Amino acid sequence: MRLAVFALCVIQNATAAPHTMENRFLFIIDTSAAMKSRREGVDTAVTELLQSNMKGEMRNGDTFGVWTYSEKLNTEFPRQVWAGENNGQITGALLQYLHLVPAEKRSRLEKVWPGLQQAVLNSERLTVILIHDGSDPIKGTPFDSDINELQRQYARQFKSSHDPFVTVLSASNHVFFDYSINFPSAITLPHTEDPLQPPVTNTPAPVVATAPPPLKHCRPRLRPGKQPFQFPRLRLSLSRFRPRRQRPLSRTSHRPPFHLIRLRPHHCRNGKKTQRRLPQALQ
């Protein structure tokens, strides 16, 4: 590629203090002829990852590189040291570089694996973002069969939507330990970064409030010849709370009402049935 194109890709490395362990990221982008219709998806994936600081996993001092491949592997894009204040400049320069790379010839992913295996051995932590069309099988990871099966299963869906496969491979201690297959607009990255340390300040440490000791029960001191004061005992009369006696019911109150009295037939001496006469008190 011409020197003028290469000059557009060079970005001045920002001076950032590196932290405990460097976290490296590597874009591997397929630039074959099959990716012409998926260029928009490539831009979406790259922009989303860089604008979000690799989903919060890339901090100042971390590095990332970009490899492109079709029939040959191209590693001419310089490695970048990440700085949050230059986010927009780095993203724009990378997109401009990708637009200048022609999409031609066929994809040959096997050309990438020797260099990738060497990069894994030289990095304590490495996250690989492989953006490709899914036609080439993955070889060299513990998850080859699972990834290849998912690529065959969803190949038609990705092709119809003109989206590239975004396969994320995470390596730690020179071994791949996790992977994910994503759409360009929804990418998940495994957590590899160390937790943030609390900022160093001159403010004193907060004082932790402690509970006061329990009070001890002290007996009153008595003078000789005197008795301690005793509260008088109060007797509460419960007579007002007792239920009153009920008065005995009168005789007439035991009688049921008139409409509840059942009249029985009365047999007269002449053999005719008549109604029993009511007592005079109830008539």
Closest by Cα among 104, 176, 96, 166 to 140: 176
Spatial distance between the Cα atoms of 128 and 168, rounded to a whole number of angstroms:
6
According to the model, what pLDDT value does residue 163 have? 94
For 183-225, the pLDDT digits (tens) are: 999 998 888 766 555 556 566 667 666 777 766 655 555 555 5
Map out the domains of the chain with their CATH numbers.
3-12+24-182 (3.40.50)
Q: What are the DSSP calls for 12-56, one per residue?
A: PPP-----SS--EEEEEEE-SGGGGGGHHHHHHHHHHHHHTHHHH
168 or 266, greater pLDDT = 168
Local confidence band at 21 (pLDDT 50, 70, 90 cut-offs): confident
Q: Is 3 helix (H, G, I), strand (E, B) or coil?
A: helix
Local confidence band at 6 (pLDDT 50, 70, 90 cut-offs): very low
According to the model, what pLDDT value does residue 279 have? 53
22 or 68, greater pLDDT = 68
According to the model, what pLDDT value does residue 258 have? 52
Most confident of 21-25, 53-57, 162-166, 257-261: 162-166
How does strand 24-30 pair with strand 273-275? unpaired
According to the model, what pLDDT value does residue 85 have? 86
According to the model, what pLDDT value does residue 197 have? 55
Which residue in this structure is represented by tokens 């100042």?
A: 60
Per the DSSP assignment, residues forming a β-bridge with 28 are 67, 130
Return mean pLDDT, the chain.
Answer: 77
3 or 242, greater pLDDT = 242
Q: Is the dihedral of CA 102, 114, 67, 1 positive or negative?
A: negative
For 86-129, the pLDDT digits (tens) are: 888 999 999 999 999 998 899 999 999 999 999 999 998 999 99
Can you read off the two tokens belonging to residue 229?
A: 């004061």
Local confidence band at 166 (pLDDT 50, 70, 90 cut-offs): very high
Lowest-confidence segment of 14-18, 129-133, 233-237, 259-263 by average pLDDT:
14-18
Q: pTM for this structure?
A: 0.64
According to the model, what pLDDT value does residue 18 have? 43
